[in-house]
């Protein structure tokens, strides 16, 4: 190899690649390998670079110059959302080269196009050499996901700015123009102003608008009323000198620190010239701090009445919104909502226990459905029940009555705190759901033995139970007997599978999505019914069939996967898909609620952006994969 | 063997060239390579895009300092098939000249022995058609050096993109378009202007464009490019 020439061309190539991801993070040796093994090709405008007809893709291309249009093959009309434009530094087609199959997309040059081309063999060597490249390629879907998450973040960034935290600069906390007076203003006038505007402090400034003193409400008492001072003296005689100031760019923490260190309640914000720009009071900071995880928990734990809990439940929503805006994943948000709702529910139960004597009864409060799975979204109604032990059959009726009375109050308090009463009466106050351990076992047993449609539907709600309060071991015993029953009943599982695969993911044959399932809402997809439910149902079957005690869908998939010989990557792809759908639901519910509507799960694919539509499509494909697996396992 | 008689001393009186046995062997090996089929498609053959740096623009007096070349194999540029060499100079070129190509005095005097350098170049190009922009200059400088150091007349096929491109792209017709104008037109970056390899790289990208356009218009082989060039030259001269 003659080399100064090759070296120069290779290093120019590396230089180019290094300004684009993932090459910017790529290991130097791997990048060198890539630079040495690519060839440069040219395509004129409109040239077909790759099509499904060109067969198995043997070349990985990295765009050096120009733009390439990628569009879905076989579309009748060129719908906008199936088109994607690639620019310099982008590699394609990652999926088909990796899988060594033909491309599903058609790639054409939009103008003069130069491409670095790497043979598939070298592509695989590179994947082995470079963990960075490997991760980039295999987690292609995941990277699309993060892209969409970023877009989501941007969308909410405006709101984030409004959602203030202790990191916010003082300039964003100050709401009102500061009120100030000159040092020669009479006390009478100052006090009059303070009363009229109902403000707690008056700032005294000099001719340059620089604060030189402060006079607060408590000073009125201490320096005027008690000493019997005249109201007709200038304010400078009674004001506190040299008030504490901070630059506008300082944040709420700084202000809190000044207040704590000097025992003052007001800090003045000034601009570069030392001119007064605003007043930050202790109260301003307090309202900032209220919406925080720890604060909410404290509020809940120390609440002594329903009103306080009501405030806390508002805060839970507020904080979940913040988390959504900060790009926290759906899994964390739904778990977080569930966790705080659990705390809230427990507090409500505790408050009611003060009024209801349940002494001597062994019982546990159960959550069902989404709450039982730790997957609550913003709109969740109540799904709960009670399990108890009754040692003496003679006491049963009486015990149940005591529990039911108690449950009625809890249900009604939950309703007040933003968890509407369940329309289907799946509540602890329903005598059919306030049962002894034996009765629950018998109920489950009946459903499993006689899997009628009704029983199968019940299974999807009640089998996802979780204890929330009381004797947790009662729920554990219920779980043990449930798993024992299902394990030994392949027929029941088969029926569940039949039910689960009965709902198909809304993937269209011609169009991307089927959006006319609901005649009342054309153009929409119910993401609960045709989205998350597909994953939830499949995960439940995996769990019941493989003795997995978890109720959370993600947990179920994670725990069942190794038992079913499903690779870690496949399980991760399923989980990503599920989480993405949940994220879309959360976002949609939030936007519905801010517009004062009841949060539903009907999303319009047309409202999604390009990336989201592609991921949603992929997510539905994952659902289809799960269903195919079920059909295979149960020979349907 | 006509080349051999030329080597011994052809029609013109030529400086006596004495080659070492290995050098003569290398030269013979090159001569015995089969000729390239010029009617074979662009995308099934090899082109070598050449650019030279010299001590000045006077083709009679000035000397060849460096050759840079990049090959297109089956239409694709292969960085591993690239060439660069600096010929050893007994007399270093002027300061102003050095500033153009950046090959300093010591690099010039530490260059490769001209005979070895040219043999290496022959070995690299084989019988592939050579391509350059304003090829006459590159061709003259290389031919002159071949004759001086190897005592041979290099009868390689040359294709001049300065004649070919206007036939395909009518953005300026006056025939006096500079390389940089084409590069700018197609937004082709030059890694390092006036570096022989870099200029060859940029010119090779132009060749790729010409090949794609030519193939589309039916000019799908080196032979058809040669024909276009000939026709254009004739038109130009008869004007």
Q: What is the pLDDT of residue B1?
A: 44
Residue of B nearest to A66 (CA): B187
Q: What is the pLDDT of residue B218?
A: 87
In a domain, A491, yes or no: no
pLDDT at B216 over 50: yes
Q: A73: which strand partners?
A: none
Interface of B with A in 126-185 (CB under 8 A): none
Same domain, A301 and A436: yes
In a domain, A209, yes or no: yes
Q: What is the pLDDT of residue A233?
A: 92
pLDDT tens-place string over residues A517-558: 778 888 899 999 999 999 999 999 999 999 999 999 999 999
pLDDT at B232 over 90: no
* Least Cα separation, residue A60 to chain B (angstroms): 14
User: How crowded is residue A294: how many other Cβ atoms within 10 Å of its Cβ?
Assistant: 8
**Distance between CA A130 and CA A17 in Å, rounded?**
15
| CB contact (8 A) between residue B209 and residue A44 | yes
A1-10, A24-33, A175-184, A218-227: which has the highest mean pLDDT?
Answer: A24-33
pLDDT tens-place string over residues A64-92: 998 898 886 654 333 333 467 788 888 88
CATH of the domain at A500: 1.20.120
In a domain, B75, yes or no: yes
In a domain, B96, yes or no: yes
In order of A12, A88, B29, B210, the CA distances from B85 in angstroms are 19, 32, 21, 27
Structure tokens at A286: 């307090």
**Shortest CB distance from B213 goes to which of A4, A44, A65?**
A44
**Shortest CB distance from B79 goes to which of A10, A41, A44?**
A10
**Distance between CA A243 and CA A204 in Å, rounded?**
9
Question: What mean pLDDT comes out for the span A262-271?
Answer: 84
pLDDT at B13 over 80: no
Q: A106: which strand partners?
A: A71
| CB contact (8 A) between residue A8 and residue B213 | no
On average, the pLDDT of chain A sits at: 84
Which of A1, A2, A37 should we substitute to test contact with B (largest number of B Cβ atoms within 10 Å)? A2
Which of B73, B79, B120 should we substitute to test contact with A (largest number of A Cβ atoms within 10 Å)? B79
Peptide bond into A93 cis (omega under 30): yes
Residue position matching structure tokens 């011609």: A510
DSSP state at residue A432: G
Lowest pLDDT segment from A329-333, A468-472, B8-12: B8-12
**Distance between CA A456 and CA A440 in Å, rounded?**
16
Closest by Cα among A403, A385, A393, A397 to A444: A385
| CB contact (8 A) between residue A42 and residue B68 | no
Q: Report angle CA A256, A259, A263 to the nearest 5 degrees.
A: 150
* Least Cα separation, residue B110 to chain A (angstroms): 15
In order of A88, A207, A208, A241, A530, the CA distances from A183 in angstroms are 65, 10, 12, 11, 70
Same domain, A280 and A308: no
In 3-state terms chain A splits into helix, strand, coil percentages (rounded to 5) of 55, 15, 30
**Shortest CB distance from A5 goes to which of B75, B188, B197?**
B197
pLDDT category at A254 given cuts 50, 70, 90 is: confident
CATH of the domain at B86: 3.30.420.10
In a domain, A454, yes or no: no
User: How crowded is residue A369: how many other Cβ atoms within 10 Å of its Cβ?
Assistant: 24
| CB contact (8 A) between residue A39 and residue B197 | no
| CB contact (8 A) between residue A4 and residue B84 | yes
CB pairs under 8 A between A and B: 77
In a domain, B8, yes or no: no
Which helix (H) or strand (E) segment holds residue A217: the answer is: helix A217-219
Strand ordering across the sheet containing B130-132 = A91-92, A59-65, A113-119, A39-43, B76-86, B64-73, B46-54, B130-132, B158-160
Q: Any CB–CB contact under 8 A between B110 and chain A?
A: no
Who has greater pLDDT, A3 or B122? B122
pLDDT at A2 over 60: no
Peptide bond into A22 cis (omega under 30): yes
**Distance between CA A35 and CA A117 in Å, rounded?**
10
pLDDT category at A157 given cuts 50, 70, 90 is: very low
Same domain, A415 and A379: yes
Who has greater pLDDT, A171 or A175? A171
Q: Any CB–CB contact under 8 A between B25 and chain A?
A: no
pLDDT tens-place string over residues A348-377: 999 999 889 888 889 999 999 988 998 887
In a domain, A30, yes or no: yes
Same domain, A253 and A133: no
| CB contact (8 A) between residue A8 and residue B186 | no
pLDDT category at B29 given cuts 50, 70, 90 is: very high
Q: What's the total number of domains in chain A?
A: 4
Question: What mean pLDDT comes out for the span B178-196?
Answer: 83
Strands A362-367 and A384-389: antiparallel
| CB contact (8 A) between residue A9 and residue B68 | no
Strand ordering across the sheet containing A434-436 = A434-436, A384-389, A362-367, A466-470
* Least Cα separation, residue A36 to chain B (angstroms): 7
The residues, ordered by sequence, that sit 6+ positions from A500 with a Cβ below 8 Å of its Cβ are A534, A537, A538, A541, A627, A630
Strand ordering across the sheet containing A68-72 = A48-50, A105-109, A68-72, A83-86
A610-633 and A140-162 helices, crossing angle to 10°: 130
Same domain, A278 and A315: no
- Within 8 A of A44 by CB-CB distance, chain B residues are 209, 212-213, 216
Same domain, A74 and A104: yes
Interface of A with B in 100-119 (CB under 8 A): 112, 114, 117
Query: What is the three-class DSSP state of A250?
Result: coil
Q: Any CB–CB contact under 8 A between A161 and chain B?
A: no
Question: What mean pLDDT comes out for the span A120-134?
Answer: 88
Could you tell me the residue range of the domain that residue B94 belongs to? 37-238
Question: What mean pLDDT comes out for the span B168-185?
Answer: 77
Who has greater pLDDT, A138 or B106? B106
pTM (2 d.p.): 0.48
In order of A338, A413, A551, the CA distances from A346 in angstroms are 12, 12, 19
pLDDT category at A260 given cuts 50, 70, 90 is: low
DSSP state at residue A393: G
- Within 8 A of B84 by CB-CB distance, chain A residues are 2-5, 8
Question: What mean pLDDT comes out for the span B199-216?
Answer: 93
Strands A245-247 and A240-241: unpaired
Q: What is the pLDDT of residue A78?
A: 38
In a domain, B30, yes or no: no
Q: What is the pLDDT of residue B97?
A: 82
Same domain, A194 and A267: yes
Who has greater pLDDT, B216 or A175? B216
| CB contact (8 A) between residue B84 and residue A8 | yes
**Distance between CA B63 and CA B60 in Å, rounded?**
8
Q: What is the pLDDT of residue B76?
A: 93
In a domain, B169, yes or no: yes
Closest by Cα among A327, A321, A331, A320 to A581: A331
Could you tell me the residue range of the domain that residue A521 belongs to? 496-633
Q: What is the pLDDT of residue A225?
A: 86
Question: What mean pLDDT comes out for the span B26-47?
Answer: 90
Q: What is the pLDDT of residue A306?
A: 86
| CB contact (8 A) between residue A5 and residue B212 | no
pLDDT tens-place string over residues A409-420: 999 999 988 888
Decide if A13 contacts A66 (C-beta within 8 A): no
Question: What mean pLDDT comes out for the span A31-40?
Answer: 94
Decide if A299 contacts A308 (C-beta within 8 A): yes
pLDDT at B184 over 80: yes
pLDDT at A118 over 90: yes
**Shortest CB distance from A39 goes to which of B77, B120, B211?**
B77
pLDDT tens-place string over residues A466-500: 999 999 999 999 999 999 988 888 889 999 999 99
Closest by Cα among A186, A235, A193 to A211: A235
The residues, ordered by sequence, that sit 6+ positions from A230 with a Cβ below 8 Å of its Cβ are A187
Same domain, A183 and A258: yes
| CB contact (8 A) between residue B212 and residue A4 | no
**Distance between CA A440 and CA A386 in Å, rounded?**
10
Who has greater pLDDT, A80 or A443? A443
Who has greater pLDDT, B152 or B107? B152
A562-596 burial, b at 16+ Cβ within 10 Å, e below that, comes to eeeebeeebbbbbbbbbbbbbbbbbbbbbebeeee
In order of A253, A544, A545, A595, the CA distances from A541 in angstroms are 50, 5, 6, 37
* Least Cα separation, residue B14 to chain A (angstroms): 32
Q: Tell me how far apart the terminal alpha carbons of chain A are, to the nearest angstrom.
A: 61
In a domain, A583, yes or no: yes
Q: Any CB–CB contact under 8 A between A58 and chain B?
A: no
Q: What is the pLDDT of residue A413?
A: 93
* Least Cα separation, residue A5 to chain B (angstroms): 5
In a domain, A153, yes or no: no
Q: Any CB–CB contact under 8 A between A6 and chain B?
A: yes
pLDDT at A578 over 70: yes
Q: Any CB–CB contact under 8 A between A39 and chain B?
A: yes
User: How crowded is residue A286: how many other Cβ atoms within 10 Å of its Cβ?
Assistant: 11
**Shortest CB distance from B80 goes to which of A36, A41, A42?**
A36
**Shortest CB distance from A5 goes to which of B83, B187, B208?**
B83
Q: Taking the CA atoms of A597, A601, A607 and A608 in sequence, report the sign of the dihedral they define.
A: positive
Q: Any CB–CB contact under 8 A between A35 and chain B?
A: yes
Decide if B58 contacts A99 (C-beta within 8 A): no
pLDDT at A162 over 80: no
CATH of the domain at A380: 3.30.460.10
Same domain, A255 and A306: no
Decide if A464 contacts A372 (C-beta within 8 A): yes
| CB contact (8 A) between residue A112 and residue B187 | yes
Question: What mean pLDDT comes out for the span A273-295?
Answer: 71
In a domain, A22, yes or no: yes
pLDDT category at A286 given cuts 50, 70, 90 is: low
**Shortest CB distance from A42 goes to which of B68, B82, B209?**
B209
Q: What is the pLDDT of residue A610?
A: 66
- Within 8 A of A40 by CB-CB distance, chain B residues are 76-77, 79, 205, 208
Query: What is the three-class DSSP state of B79?
Result: strand
| CB contact (8 A) between residue A9 and residue B195 | no
Same domain, A274 and A305: no
pLDDT tens-place string over residues A382-404: 899 999 998 887 888 889 999 99
Q: A169: which strand partners?
A: A251
In a domain, B21, yes or no: no
In a domain, B31, yes or no: no
Q: Any CB–CB contact under 8 A between A65 and chain B?
A: yes
Decide if A480 contacts A581 (C-beta within 8 A): no
In a domain, A621, yes or no: yes
Closest by Cα among A368, A372, A371 to A385: A368
| CB contact (8 A) between residue A47 and residue B212 | yes
Question: What mean pLDDT comes out for the span A616-634?
Answer: 89
Q: What is the pLDDT of residue A210?
A: 92
**Distance between CA A414 and CA A407 in Å, rounded?**
10
Who has greater pLDDT, A322 or A506? A506
Q: What's the total number of domains in chain B?
A: 1
Q: A113: which strand partners?
A: A43
CATH of the domain at A48: 2.60.120.10
pLDDT category at A1 given cuts 50, 70, 90 is: very low
Q: A70: which strand partners?
A: A84, A107
Q: Any CB–CB contact under 8 A between B90 and chain A?
A: no
Interface of A with B in 388-447 (CB under 8 A): none
Same domain, A431 and A505: no
Same domain, A113 and A262: no
- Within 8 A of B186 by CB-CB distance, chain A residues are 112
**Distance between CA B181 and CA A329 in Å, rounded?**
52
**Distance between CA A49 and CA A46 in Å, rounded?**
9
pLDDT tens-place string over residues B189-201: 877 777 889 999 9
**Distance between CA B41 and CA B44 in Å, rounded?**
5
Query: What is the three-class DSSP state of B45?
Result: coil
Decide if A321 contacts A590 (C-beta within 8 A): yes
Q: Any CB–CB contact under 8 A between A14 and chain B?
A: no
**Shortest CB distance from B82 goes to which of A6, A41, A117?**
A6
In a domain, B41, yes or no: yes
Decide if A462 contacts A478 (C-beta within 8 A): no
In order of A585, A616, A629, B78, B132, the CA distances from B201 in angstroms are 53, 44, 53, 10, 11
Who has greater pLDDT, A393 or B141? B141
């Amino acid at each position: 190899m003659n080399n100064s020439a090759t070296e120069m061309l290779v290093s120019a190539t590396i230089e180019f690649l290094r300004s684009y991801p993932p090459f910017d993070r790529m290991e130097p040796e791997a990048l060198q390998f890539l630079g040495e093994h690519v060839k440069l090709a040219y395509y004129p405008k409109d040239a077909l670079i790759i099509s499904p007809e060109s067969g198995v893709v043997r070349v990985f291309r990295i765009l050096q110059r120009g733009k390439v249009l990628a569009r879905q093959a076989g579309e009748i009309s060129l719908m906008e959302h199936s088109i994607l434009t690639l620019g310099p530094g982008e590699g394609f087609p990652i999926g088909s080269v990796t899988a060594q199959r033909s491309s599903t997309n058609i790639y054409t040059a939009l103008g003069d196009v130069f491409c670095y081309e790497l043979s598939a063999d070298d592509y695989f060597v590179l994947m082995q050499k470079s963990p960075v490249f490997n991760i980039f390629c295999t987690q292609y879907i995941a990277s699309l996901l993060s892209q969409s998450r970023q877009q989501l973040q941007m969308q909410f960034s405006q709101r984030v700015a409004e959602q203030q935290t202790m990191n916010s600069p003082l300039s964003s906390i100050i709401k009102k123009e500061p009120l100030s007076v000159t040092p020669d203003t009479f006390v009478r006038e100052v006090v009059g102003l303070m009363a009229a505007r109902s403000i707690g402090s008056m700032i005294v400034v000099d001719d340059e608008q620089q604060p030189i003193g402060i006079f607060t409400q408590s000073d009125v008492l201490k320096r005027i009323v008690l000493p019997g001072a005249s109201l007709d003296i200038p304010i400078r005689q009674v004001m506190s000198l040299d008030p504490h100031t901070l630059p506008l760019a300082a944040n709420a923490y700084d202000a809190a620190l000044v207040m704590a260190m000097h025992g003052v309640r007001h800090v003045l914000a000034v601009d570069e010239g030392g001119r007064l720009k605003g007043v930050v009071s202790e109260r301003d900071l307090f309202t900032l701090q209220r919406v925080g995880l720890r604060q909410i928990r404290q509020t809940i734990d120390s609440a002594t009445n329903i009103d306080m809990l009501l405030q806390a439940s508002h805060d839970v929503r507020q904080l979940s919104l913040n988390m959504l805006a900060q790009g926290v994943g759906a899994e964390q948000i739904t778990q977080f909502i569930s966790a705080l709702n659990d705390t809230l529910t427990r507090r409500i139960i505790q408050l009611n226990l003060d009024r209801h004597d349940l002494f001597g009864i062994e019982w546990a409060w159960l959550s069902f459905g989404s709450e039982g799975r730790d997957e609550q979204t913003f709109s969740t109604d109540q799904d709960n029940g009670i399990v108890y032990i009754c040692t003496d059959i003679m006491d049963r009726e009486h015990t149940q009555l005591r529990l039911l009375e108690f449950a009625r109050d809890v249900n009604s308090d939950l309703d007040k705190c933003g968890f509407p009463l369940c329309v289907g009466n799946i509540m602890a106050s329903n005598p059919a759901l306030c049962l002894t351990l034996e009765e629950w076992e018998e109920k489950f047993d009946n459903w499993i033995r006689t899997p009628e449609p009704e029983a199968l539907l019940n299974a999807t709600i009640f089998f996802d139970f979780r204890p929330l309060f009381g004797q947790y071991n009662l729920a554990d015993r219920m779980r043990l007997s449930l798993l024992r029953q299902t394990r030994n009943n392949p027929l029941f599982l088969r029926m569940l599978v039949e039910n689960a695969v009965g709902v198909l993911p809304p993937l269209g044959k011609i169009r991307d999505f089927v959006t006319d399932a609901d005649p009342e809402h054309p153009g929409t997809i119910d993401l609960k019914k045709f989205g998350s439910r597909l994953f939830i149902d499949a995960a439940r079957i995996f769990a019941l069939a493989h003795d997995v005690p978890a109720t959370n869908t993600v947990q179920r998939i994670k725990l069942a996967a190794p038992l079913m010989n499903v690779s870690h990557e496949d399980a991760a792809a399923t989980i990503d898909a599920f989480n993405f759908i949940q994220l879309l639901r959360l976002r949609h519910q939030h936007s519905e609620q801010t517009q004062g509507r009841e949060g539903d799960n009907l999303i319009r694919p047309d409202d999604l952006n390009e990336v989201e539509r592609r991921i949603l499509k992929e997510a539905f494909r994952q659902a289809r994969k799960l269903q195919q697996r079920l059909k295979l396992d149960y020979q349907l | 063997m006509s080349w051999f008689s030329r080597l011994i001393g052809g029609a013109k009186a030529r400086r006596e060239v004495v080659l070492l046995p290995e050098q003569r062997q290398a030269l013979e090996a090159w001569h015995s390579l089969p000729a390239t089929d010029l009617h074979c498609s662009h995308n099934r053959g090899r082109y070598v895009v050449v650019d030279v740096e010299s001590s000045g623009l006077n083709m009679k007096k000035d000397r060849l300092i460096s050759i840079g070349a990049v090959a297109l194999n089956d239409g694709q540029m292969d960085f591993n098939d690239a060439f660069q060499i600096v010929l050893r100079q007994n007399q270093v070129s002027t300061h102003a000249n050095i500033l153009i190509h950046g090959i300093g005095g010591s690099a010039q005097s530490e260059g490769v022995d001209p005979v070895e350098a040219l043999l290496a170049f022959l070995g690299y190009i084989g019988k592939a058609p050579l391509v350059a922009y304003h090829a006459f200059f590159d061709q003259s400088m290389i031919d002159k050096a071949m004759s001086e150091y190897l005592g041979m007349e290099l009868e390689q096929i040359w294709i001049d993109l300065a004649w070919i491109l206007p036939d395909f792209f009518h953005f300026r017709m006056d025939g006096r378009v500079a390389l940089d104008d084409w590069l700018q037109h197609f937004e082709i970056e030059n890694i390092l202007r006036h570096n022989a390899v870099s200029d060859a790289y940029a010119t090779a990208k132009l060749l790729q464009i010409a090949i794609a356009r030519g193939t589309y218009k039916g000019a799908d082989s080196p032979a058809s490019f040669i024909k276009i060039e000939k026709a254009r030259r004739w038109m130009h001269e008869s004007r």
